[in-house]
Structure 1
């Protein structure tokens, strides 16, 4: 068992930066395909494609995982479980949004991991590193304008609240572009999913706070979740390093 864990999460033998980038770049097209098959339109005109989408997403996740480096693998693995817990809190418990069917689709937690991994890969490209300072300015201005426009014209108070929290996280994390790249992927999948009616946000959160469908401020959930995700993975990494040292002794 230890050998399997070490192979999957602590050895970069299968890491292939080019193939990893291919999966990140293909993320938008794959998202449209997968969510289109799970859409209300597809269900009404053909058949319920939920199981096909489940299979496609799990396969895509598996290949993305396989060709990633060991650290990103750990992030993707933990993200599946962390996002499922988040789904249970935000969907059935707090009732912020609803899926096409009553149950949370299997593909959702794996999809969250793909979204995160795609943003992570883009943020760690050579181009992103070279243009880090400029991107920080553009991202900050772009997201500020986006949140304000949505809040004012769509009366999305929820986005104004979460958008403020998103900038709070950015400031605490020293304006790392990682969160902005992930946020762009989040916005894309939210727009695609709600367009195909795979899920729908309620008109008012807790029956009080007006929200658009989807709210752009949802990016804060990923930013906030990443803080916890990174701590879990870093703890896992440190624990493994300590175990390796003890074995060598």
Structure 2
């Protein structure tokens, strides 16, 4: 936390600009979930189709501007997001959308979120201060998950947050991406559930009474991580030769530094 505050003001300002450039529009778009919320659909007009179209257009626009690697990862994220959403929502009953379906804007949203965070985490200045940024994000994650636990009895979210830290314990290169994902997912989930676009049961999976849950639970990004890991795995499988070449280059670099 304090190391983050020691970043030179000029660089800190630039990092914040990069963050809001990549994530600011996404955070603002969370308020679009009001269109798929209970109040809007009961008092104005039924609008899920409109939101599906808006998110689809946003996805296509970002896909057009993305480099080939990000473009491919976005497409993979949408496909896996579509499959994962049906599995977690319809099969496991982890959460329920307002119309008890899986809106098309959701998997498209996965692709947009993935690309935004990927571009933020790969910015040169962000990578330069990645340890300072990670320490700041860890403090936010601990505050959010502990607050949810103590005041909202969110045992389910707290347990998932612990798993997030355990998964990333020996994966330092992935922490910036996934810690950033955690914070944005918390914002997304608070907006979606507040507007009534979807809801979570009062216990984990609606089954485990020893896992009381808030609506939403704090650590839901754990399942976004599984999606993101799936994207990387699929990408590596599709590009095995390039991946092997990259690993060989890294080994050579390690040998040369010894």
| TM-score (ref. length: structure 1) | 0.83
Q: 1:138 to 1:241 in 2, by over 3 A?
A: closer
CA RMSD of aligned residues (A): 2.1
Give yes or no for the alignment of 1:197 onto 2:199: no
Distance in 1 (CA, whole Å) between partners of 2:130 and 2:46 is 44
Offset, 1:239: 5.6
* 1:72 Cα deviation from its structure 2 partner: 1.1
Matched, 1:130 2:132: no
Measure the CA separation in 2 of the matches of 1:62 and 1:117.
12
Distance 1:22 1:59, change over 3 A: farther
The residue correspondences of 1:27-176 to structure 2 (distance < 5 A) are 27-33=26-32, 35-174=33-172, 176=175
How far the C-alpha of 1:238 sits from its partner, in A, is: 2.6
Partner of 2:215 in structure 1? 213
Deviations 1:61-102 (A, max 9, x none): 111111111111111101111112211221111111111102
Task: Tell me if structure 2 keeps the 8 A contact 1:119–1:183.
Answer: no
Counterpart in the other structure of 2:253: none
* Structure 1 residue ranges without an equivalent (≥5): 1-20, 243-249
Q: Matched residues in 2 for 1:79 and 1:72: separation?
A: 10
Per-residue deviation, 1:140: 2.0
Q: Is the 8 A contact 1:155 1:211 kept in 2?
A: yes
Matches of 1:166 and 1:102, distance apart in 2: 28
* CA–CA distance in structure 2, aligned partners of residues 191 and 167 of structure 1: 21
Q: 8 Å contact 2:97–2:198 — kept in the other structure?
A: yes
Q: How much does 1:24 deviate?
A: 4.2
Q: Which moved more, 1:171-180 or 1:196-205?
A: 171-180
Q: Deviation at 1:207? A: 4.3
Structure 2 distance, partners of 1:120, 1:28, is: 15
Hey, what's the Cα distance between the residues in 2 that align with 1:155 and 1:93? 26
Indicate if the aligned counterparts of 2:117 and 2:180 stay in contact, CA closer than 8 A. yes
The answer as to 2:176 corresponding to 1:177 is yes
Aligned equivalents of 1:229, 1:172: Cα separation in 2: 20
Size of the aligned set, in residue pairs, is 222
- Find the aligned partners of 1:136 and 1:46 in 2 and give their Cα distance: 42
Please give the secondary structure, in 2, of the residue aligned with 1:104: coil
Q: Distance in 2 between matches of 1:211 and 1:231?
A: 30
Query: What SS is found at the alignment partner of 2:46?
Result: coil
